[in-house]
Amino acid sequence: LTKGTHGGGLSIFHNMTSSFSPLLSSPLLSSPLLSSPLLSSPLLSSPLLSSPLLSSRLVSSPLQVFRSGEGMGIRLDSASAFPGAVISPHYDSLLVKVIASGKDMSTAAAKMHRALSEFRVRGVKTNIPFLQNVLSNHQFLHSTVDTQFIDENQNLFVMKPVQNRAQKLLHYLGHVMVNGPTTPIPVKAKPSSIDPVIPTVPMGDPSLGFRDVLLREGPEGFAKAVRAHPGLLLMDTTFRDAHQSLLATRVRTHDLKKIAPYVSHNFNNLFSLENWGGATFDVAMRFLYECPWKRLQELRTLVPNVPFQMLLRGANAVGYTNYPDNAVFKFCEVAKENGMDIFRVFDSLNYLPNMILGMEAAGRAGGVVEAAISYTGDVSDPMRQKYSLAYYVKLTEELMKAGTHVLCIKDMAGLLKPESSRILISALRDRYPDVPIHVHTHDTAGAGVAAMLACAEAGADVVDVAVDSMAGMTSQPSMGAMVACTKGTKLDTGMCPGGQVVTPSSKIVGDLAQFMVQNNLTREECLRWLSPLSPPHSPPSQVLKSLPRIEGRPGATLPPLDFDALEAGLRLLHGDDITEEDVMSAAMYPKVFQEYKEFTGSFGPVDCLSTRLFLDGPKIAEEFQVEIERGKTLHIKALAVGDLNKTGQRGVFFELNGQLRSVLVKDNVAMKEMKFHPKALKSVRGQVGAPMPGKVIEVKVEPGQKVEKGQPLCVLSAMKMETVVNSPLTGVVTVIHVNTDNSLEGDDLILEITAEE
């Protein structure tokens, strides 16, 4: 790479062949785009610019997309590059030569950089990111460049990966068109072909709400304002518990964002909007393939005036396991920074140490602490004394000592009846006249509205409801019913009437019910077997058997989580665009987060798609738009789905922004009927794959044989060259998947080794 001597031109050498264009009157910049097969070979075939960070496998790969960058001052000398062209391992890797001219070096470089940024080359890797780094290098633009330039500027190889969002989204849509939804759907109904009508929203900012009180006066002032409010306040669960109860938590951020402005303008006097926590956190990543933190951030922007509320499982945060204490504190801190206001803290067994840890974490983060007592039994039945009124009064006393701002009764199973509601709420109101009382229930038995009215009449300040279309059954009572029933009374809500995944503890109850039915057990037989148990104390030895026991709160004995090490590991796996929120997601759900990143890495930002397209894909000949970011919209038309090829794939054809695009999609049903060699999984230690395509010449080990790290396992032949595959670890060979003369593709599984302990 040299500077020209005739007016300041530039040459880039490739495979000992130079390309130099002298200038007559203005500087001119010439740089060939060099390519090599996607994920298979060095970034550039030129030894001068090869990167040791890339693998050296040799396979053919087709050009899926090729669009050049053009404009004033840009000249293209094209080679044979077009969509569908197959780039073989021996292909001359020059795709096109780009020549930029300008009045000076900086101008020519700027034009070249702009042209390169407009290129779209998909299916193979190119040197575009490297060239862009060169064009941004100060020494290259303003100083002398010699043969040591690359050696002295290793940051040239720190390249920002291309996003390739459009092609990834086409791949996802093609996958859905061929194989159906990627997320399990709890109902058989198909998504409506008619997009829902979004109510109109008035211009300007929404009216002030209780969040403005919270921001102005803090959690304590907020609690006083709630207690002083003359009517009944409502929490709307539509954005969280309602769809968790009815629709397996499958409502997407895309749809919540559509209705959020209307909620902000028309429901500004809500106590809160429950929209986060509980199962929504992991389901967002696990089944909807979207970031739960992004949901919180975007809804906060759209609803600035209503407090947001989340469900926190005490010391278990939003997970189903135990976490180090510092992880729970950090989680609450990051949630508060992203817009969360009220933390409903509960433990399904009312285990105080777990609850208090969660309360401390929420309080230290600056949030409103709403300690929730899980309700069971029947306080109106004098014969049922295990969970009596005295039990709840005593538990409330402990939570008040711990510093809760709001007291919640959490009736997860819909057991509260009007009479028991009056007894419980009256007792708590008499003892704690200054604390706001918030009641949550489910309308499973159909008595939810009656129970919540009884709670309100007995002194509750807030009750939970859901919008009418998402209310009833296992969801919350109807908002319209509560508004209508209180209208014109002292409890008037001031609103106009109108318009299942289960929790872990309820799953336990459901599992027990199924067990009893399957084994024809009566209640008495179960009670006899369970009589030694005394929950929530430690179970007897016949249940735990030889399993290890944990005394006290499990999280208290766990070592602190090293967030720096976790972040470093995530950056190594997923690149440098890891955020603090990503680190917390990985801390809560390591495996789910990993799978979420892998999915979005393959299929792109699917959260940009409408829900019908996300679940069902487009119809043939359908035209639609997808906004991938503000000001950047894709115009897509689905054209056709091709026939099955011999490898079990179908071509799916689209028109994207007026240009033909195609993707190859594996047909999962057909693949089950066709026999393919398994691939080695990089995430499974001990699976040894073929480093390159070739034929098996010799297998040097047998099942059950012990091997040392670096020991030869088999010999492959490709292009008249033999390659020895060595053992990556010390262990025992468990399974051999190849025989002599087998032809393998790259990454085909050769054998499996169990690591030596």
Backbone torsion region of residue 545, taken as left when φ is above 0, otherwise alpha when ψ lies between -120 and 50, otherwise beta = left
Using the predicted structure, report yes or no on whether residue 671 has a pLDDT greater than 90: no
How much is the pLDDT for 56? 37
β-pair partners for 277? 311
Pick from 399, 221, 438, 401: nearest CA to 309: 438
Q: Who contacts 490 (Cβ-Cβ below 8 Å, separation ≥6)? A: 230, 231
How much is the pLDDT for 529? 64
417: amino acid identity, one letter: K
Using the predicted structure, report yes or no on whether residue 547 has a pLDDT greater than 80: no
User: What is the overall mean pLDDT for the chain?
Assistant: 85
Distance CA 14, CA 135 (A): 17
* Residue, of 497 and 339, whose pLDDT is higher: 339
Backbone torsion region of residue 204, taken as left when φ is above 0, otherwise alpha when ψ lies between -120 and 50, otherwise beta = left
Query: What is the four-CA torsion angle of 168, 169, 173, 178, rounded to 10 degrees?
Result: 0
Backbone torsion region of residue 472, taken as left when φ is above 0, otherwise alpha when ψ lies between -120 and 50, otherwise beta = left
Pick from 245, 210, 223, 234: nearest CA to 453: 234
Q: What percent of the chain has pLDDT over 90?
A: 59
Using the predicted structure, report yes or no on whether residue 18 has a pLDDT greater than 70: no
Q: Is 454 helix (H, G, I), strand (E, B) or coil?
A: helix
What does the pLDDT average to over 592-619?
A: 95
Would you tell me how many other CB atoms lie within 10 Å of the CB of residue 616? 17
Q: How confident is the model at residue 517 (pLDDT cuts 50, 70, 90)?
A: confident
Q: Please classify residue 24 by burial: count the beta carbons closer than 10 Å to its beta carbon, then call 0-12 exposed, 13-18 middle and 19+ buried.
A: exposed
Would you tell me how many other CB atoms lie within 10 Å of the CB of residue 195? 10
Cis peptide before 202 (omega within 30 of 0): no
Q: Who contacts 19 (Cβ-Cβ below 8 Å, separation ≥6)? A: 11, 12, 13, 30, 32, 97
Task: Check the CA dihedral 621-622-627-628 and report its sign.
Answer: negative
Phi, psi of 96 (to 5 degrees): -165, 145
How much is the pLDDT for 410? 97
How much is the pLDDT for 647? 81
How much is the pLDDT for 230? 93
Q: Residues 679-710: pLDDT tens digits?
A: 998 888 899 999 888 889 999 999 999 999 99
Q: What percent of the chain has pLDDT over 70?
A: 86
Q: Please classify residue 252 by burial: count the beta carbons closer than 10 Å to its beta carbon, then call 0-12 exposed, 13-18 middle and 19+ buried.
A: buried
Q: Who contacts 650 (Cβ-Cβ below 8 Å, separation ≥6)? A: 178, 641, 642, 643, 644, 664, 665, 667
What does the pLDDT average to over 576-586?
A: 94
Q: How confident is the model at residue 59 (pLDDT cuts 50, 70, 90)?
A: low
What does the pLDDT average to over 283-304?
A: 96
What does the pLDDT average to over 139-163?
A: 87
Copy the structure tokens of residue 328.
């729970």
Q: How confident is the model at residue 498 (pLDDT cuts 50, 70, 90)?
A: low
Terminal C-alpha separation, the chain: 51
Interhelix angle 448-458/418-431, nearest 10 degrees = 30
Would you tell me how many other CB atoms lie within 10 Å of the CB of residue 297? 15
Using the predicted structure, report yes or no on whether residue 447 has a pLDDT greater than 50: yes
Residue with tokens 């809160």: 272
Copy the structure tokens of residue 198.
């979004």
Distance CA 610, CA 735 (A): 45
- Maximum mean pLDDT: which of 355-364, 535-544, 550-559, 642-651: 355-364
What does the pLDDT average to over 170-195?
A: 85
